[in-house]
Amino acid sequence: MLAVSVTQAHVPRDVGSALTDALCTERRLLDDLTGVLESQRAAVERDDLAGVDESIFAAQRVFRTLGEARRYRRSLLALVTGRDDIPLGELDAALGPRMTLRLRAVRDELREAARRLEGQIGRNRLLLQEALSAGDQLIRAFSSAPATPAVYAPPGCATPPSGTILLDRQA
């Protein structure tokens, strides 16, 4: 488990190395989350509800750990620069000569991992929207519901169902 905050009494000897390690941890967690989203997409494509459920819980675990890692990074940044809200793109200017080549490379890897994750999120969003739409169409086909959602109308003025009834709702 990662430390949530860093106080002056707990300052790592080499804050630059600690910051590099913190960014490495965040990148690894983003890669883990990307893998979880790939698993989720595969589960949706297989109609594997248990797999989708597992991926949701796995994503929640990664999100919690990622939140801790980001709090740790902000604590380190506050110690080094006096600010904890420095965007990754401004690290060079904020750290000045303390910005090492290794730290810069790890920062760039983290940004690239975030871009990959963003792409996975977009693909999953589209797939889930398509799956929901297909499910809605299937339900409408079995229940003979109109293809478009019914508009609220006064009692007795309901829109008659269009098409053939596939499912008898009488018990």
CATH label of the domain that carries residue 113 = 1.20.58
Q: Using only the alpha carbons of the chain, give its radius of gyration.
A: 25
- pLDDT recorded at residue 159: 54
In this predicted structure, the answer to whether residue 50 has a pLDDT above a threshold of 70 is: yes
DSSP, collapsed to helix, strand or coil, labels residue 142 as: helix
**pLDDT for res 57:** 96
Number of domains in the chain: 1
What gap in Å lies between CA 166 and CA 65, rounded to an integer?
49
The whole-number pLDDT of residue 78 equals 93
CA distance 28 to 69: 11
**Cα distance between residue 14 and residue 17, in whole Å:** 5
93-146 residue pLDDT tens: 998 888 999 999 999 999 999 999 999 999 988 988 888 888 788 887 887 766
Q: Looking at residue 137, what is its pLDDT? A: 82
**136 in a structural domain:** no
Q: Is residue 140 part of a domain?
A: no
CB within 8 Å of 127: residues ≥ 6 apart: 41, 44, 45
Confidence band, pLDDT 50/70/90 cuts, at residue 171: very low
Please name which of 97, 40, 110, 35 lies closest in space to residue 69, comparing C-alpha atoms.
Answer: 110
- Is position 20 within any domain? yes
Q: Report the share of the chain in percent with pLDDT over 90.
A: 54
Q: Is residue 46 part of a domain?
A: yes
pLDDT higher than 80, residue 8? no
Would you say residue 32 lies in a domain? yes
Given a cut of 90, whether residue 22 has pLDDT beyond it is yes
Token representation of residue 40:
């989720």
Structural domain boundaries, residue 61:
8-130
Q: Tell me if 2 is assigned to some domain.
A: no
Query: Cα 40 to chain center, whole Å?
Result: 11
pTM of the model: 0.71
Contact 95, 103 (CB under 8 A): yes
**pLDDT at residue number 156:** 59
Contact 58, 36 (CB under 8 A): yes
Residue 153 has a pLDDT of 53
Which of 61, 54, 53, 52 shows the shortest CA–CA distance to 33? 61
Mean pLDDT of 12-39: 91
The pLDDT, as a whole number, for residue 4 is 46
Residues 6+ apart with CB under 8 A from 47: none
Percentage above 70 pLDDT, the chain: 77
